[in-house]
Structure 1
Amino acid sequence: MSGDVSTDVRGDTARAIAAGRRPRRWGAWYVALHRFRVMRSYTGTVVVAGIGNPLIYLYALGVGLATIVDTDLDGVSYLVFVAPALLASAAITVASEEFTYPIMLGYKWNPTFTGMSASPLRPTQIVDGVVISVAVRMTVNLVLFFALILVFGAAPSPIAFLSIVAGLLGGLAFGAVLMGYTSTLEEDTGQLAMVMRFIVLPMTLFSGTFFPLSTFPIWLQWIGWISPLWHSTELARVFSYGYSEPIWLTVVHVAYLAALIVIGWAWSRRIALRRLNR
């Protein structure tokens, strides 16, 4: 009888260990799946951000404002010029939504991250899963946006679809750093609202989004130079209509955005280890 009990115990132990191996290996994807299910609760916002906003902006700026902008920019119409910038801005918008309050929610307001870390999931996998889920949502939004750009006839280059990649790089570059910053907050006493007002808004206005960066005074151009939005916008324009720039500058765009992603992602993982392993 005791032998049967020992066998049952060993069997239960083996099954428990086996059950823990899968989350240890695929934990980030479990977290991403959780985030997808959470996103279902605000599907309307996702749809509006993916279809409604692009449609409004493309029509208002690319068609409406374009009627009073009587000069070509970079040798193309204003609609073709501004469309890649709006696409890149859409990725920044998604990053601003997903890497701020949902992160505070997971750490503080409804500490799901704490619950996840009590399971076989590692803190770093939680961060990875969040980034994966946001990257997927961002890609969906960008694909929808690009489809509307095609409808408006604002993507003349045969490799214009690569502007989706440029937008994704910009969104993740900004979002990863923003996630790291949000992860450091123990309380939100207005810091995230300040980020929206004094970082996201100026970045949108002074990153060559609506007019070339060179048209701004030199004392304002530095905002664009350090802005992920400017780098992703310029890269998207290269792909979208063959914007002419030195190859070294294109390499700088990619390297700068990749560096921000790596730095922000590593920073977020480090903070997660500190906060969730207390």
Structure 2
Amino acid sequence: MTEPPLAKTSKTRTTSEPPLRAHPPEVSAAKARRWGAFYFAEQVLRVMKGYGWSIFLYSVGQPAAYLFAMGVGLATLVDTNSATAFGGVSYLAYIAPALLISAAVMTAATEFTFPVMDGFKWRRVYYGPHASPLTPEQIAAGQIIAVTLRFLLQSVIYFVIVAMFGASPSGWGWGSVLVATLAGLSFGLPLMAYAASVKEDKGQFAMVMRFIVMPLFLFSGTFFPLDTLPVLVRWIGWISPIWHGTELGRVLSYGHEEPPVLTIIHIVFLAGLAWFGWVLTKRQFVRRMGQ
């Protein structure tokens, strides 16, 4: 009995394909040493994908609701009674960059606290990769890369919403996406270093949200100029990544006028704080993993 033509084709195709073989251990180890941070970042992103809609609603839906309520609802009253109080732009254009930056910082407060402690204490997800050739620095870098991509994606989506509202009249408004990412890292990396040092959850992260994140959100020139605050609380804005990022975002979004030196100070402050947090995070990860 002769075989059907389809069976012959299937048999020939199967035998012509080379067999799958795993890399030798030394090759896999070499790749892990070189690309380990990206391997771990992929793992973190796959975990995020499992609750992607929750991430979208929290990261984009909440600030978009703020934008509509404050920038469209309240703005009708503010623009009518204080037409020149916000540098000659509408109240919607004034608060849009602040909400973009604040969303990234609040995301940083979420992603660089409990997930970090989860990696060390609850599910100990850092120790499995650490048993491979991945170093503590690569694991930390992988976590940061994944969260940075989340900053970028949510900021892009939110900026598109802002642009649809007509709240970013400048052609450089897209640069506020990068500013938001930098602001998120400048706040999140020092917080990540702190989270890596916490061994018992006694409400420390709730205290951070209540007594650090929320005051920074409210007193960083988010809804009104910082110089309208009393001097006794104005210092909160001066040390806040939200204020520095917001001022940069306003420069890019609608050409907010400020001295060039102050713009440089904003950039140096955010970049320096992010670098300082990265140094502390690496040190804490190495110490915690016993190397």
Hey, what does 2:273 align to over in structure 1?
Answer: 260
Q: Which deviations, in whole Å up to 9, do the C-alpha atoms of 1:90-127 show, x marking residues without a partner?
A: 10121011101000100100101111111110000001
Distance in 2, matches of 1:162 and 1:267, equals 28
Secondary structure, counterpart of 1:38 in structure 2: helix
Aligned to 2:69: 60
Query: Unaligned regions of 5+ residues in structure 2, if any?
Result: 1-22
1:32 offset after TM fit, Å? 0.3
2:56 to 47, 62, 81: 47
The answer for the alignment partner of 1:201 in structure 2 is 214
> CA deviation digits over 1:108-151, x for unaligned, max 9?
00101111111110000001000100000010000000000001
Matched residue type, 1:274: R
Query: Any conservation in 1 of the 2:59–2:107 contact (CA below 8 Å)?
Result: no
- SS of residue paired to 1:120: coil
* Alpha-carbon separation, structure 2, partners of 1:116 and 1:272: 13
**Residues 1:125 and 2:138 aligned together:** yes
Q: Would the aligned equivalents of 1:49 and 1:141 in 2 still touch at CA under 8 Å?
A: no
Mapped to 2, the partners of 1:136 and 1:166 lie a distance apart of: 13
Match of 1:113 in 2: 126
Q: Which moved more, 1:104-113 or 1:70-79?
A: 70-79
| Alignment root-mean-square deviation, CA | 1.3
| Runs of 4+ with deviation above 6 angstroms | none
Tell me which amino acid in the other structure corresponds to 2:40.
V
Asked if the contact 1:54/1:86 (under 8 Å) is kept, the reply is yes
Q: In the alignment, is the contact (CA less than 8 A) between 2:109 and 2:188 conserved in 1? A: yes
C-alpha contact 1:50 1:144 (8 A) present in aligned 2: no
Q: Give 1:277 deviation, angstroms.
A: 2.2
Q: 2:190 aligns with which of 177, 192, 208?
A: 177
1:188-218 deviation line (CA, Å, top 9, x unaligned): 1000000000000000000000000000001
For this pair of structures, how many residues does the alignment match? Answer: 266
Tell me which residue corresponds to 1:81: 94
Distance 1:51 1:30 in 2: 27
How far residue 259 of structure 1 moved from its aligned partner, in angstroms, is 0.5
Normalised by the length of structure 1, the TM-score is 0.93
Aligned match of 1:5: none
**Aligned residue for 1:226?**
239
Match of 1:37 among 15, 35, 46: 46
Alignment-derived partner of residue 248 in structure 2: 235
Q: Is the 8 A contact 1:50 1:140 kept in 2?
A: no
Structure 1 residue 66 displacement after superposition: 0.7
Whether contact under 8 Å (1:54, 1:148) holds in the other structure is: no
- Over the matched positions of the two proteins, sequence identity in percent amounts to 48
CA contact (8 A) 2:182 2:271 kept: yes
How far 1:55 moved relative to its partner? 2.4
| Equivalent residue number for residue 15 of structure 2 | none
Aligned to 1:19: 28
In 1, Cα distance between equivalents of 2:280 and 2:273: 10
Match of 2:169 among 141, 152, 156: 156
- C-alpha separation between the residues in 2 aligned to 1:224 and 1:54? 20
How much does 1:75 deviate?
A: 1.1
CA distance, structure 1, for counterparts of residue 223 and residue 288 of structure 2: 41
- Once the two structures are TM-superposed, the CA of residue 230 in structure 1 deviates from its matched residue by 0.5
Q: 2:112 is matched with which residue: 88, 94, 99?
A: 99
CA distance in 2, matches of 1:32, 1:200: 26
The amino acid across from 1:18 in the alignment is V
Computing the radius of gyration over CA atoms, which structure comes out larger, 1 or 2?
2
Q: Distance in 2 between matches of 1:224 and 1:205?
A: 9
Equivalent-residue separation in structure 2 for 1:208 and 1:221 (angstroms)? 9
Distance in 1 separating the partners of 2:64 and 2:283: 39
